[in-house]
């Protein structure tokens, strides 16, 4: 995403790994019903998009987990995921908003 095509990143990572190497991804999952923002501006990434990139680069999905899932994150903030900790963008001078964002985690 951003300035360099994401698929090229995935191809490069795949090429760097030793045979049998494992590549793990931890990111903020987007809402699948909303089209993936190609710029990644809001910080959320649709799982289907990442899986498509990985598969097209040659990876296979071995496992997935909800260990970092946050049911309190409604994924609808003015500054995207960056509204949440640790960044707390947009709430620096708004104590109420800052407290709400910190409670989400």
Dmax over CA atoms of the chain, in Å, equals: 50
Q: What is the pLDDT of residue 37?
A: 83
3 state DSSP class of 91: coil
Closest CA relative to residue 77, chosen from 38, 35, 31, 26: 31
Residue pLDDT, tens place only, 8-50: 999 999 999 999 999 999 999 999 999 988 788 899 999 999 9
Residue 1 has pLDDT above 50, yes or no: no
Q: What is the pLDDT of residue 2?
A: 45
**How many angstroms separate the CA atoms of 42 and 80, rounded?**
4
Residue 3 has pLDDT above 80, yes or no: no
Query: Domain locations in the chain?
Result: 1-68, 70-105
| 70-77: average pLDDT | 94
Q: What are phi and psi of 97, to 5 degrees?
A: -65, -40
Task: Write down the pTM of the prediction.
Answer: 0.83
């Amino acid at each position: 995403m951003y300035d360099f095509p994401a698929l090229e990143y995935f191809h490069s990572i795949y090429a760097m790994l030793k045979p049998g190497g494992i590549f793990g991804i931890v990111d903020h999952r987007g809402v699948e019903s909303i089209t993936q923002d190609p710029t990644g501006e809001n910080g959320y990434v649709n799982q289907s998009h990442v899986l498509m990139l990985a598969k097209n680069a040659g990876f296979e999905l071995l496992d997935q987990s909800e260990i970092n899932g946050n049911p309190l994150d409604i994924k609808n903030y003015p500054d995207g995921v960056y509204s949440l900790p640790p960044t707390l963008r947009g709430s620096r001078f708004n104590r109420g908003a800052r407290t709400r964002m910190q409670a989400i985690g």
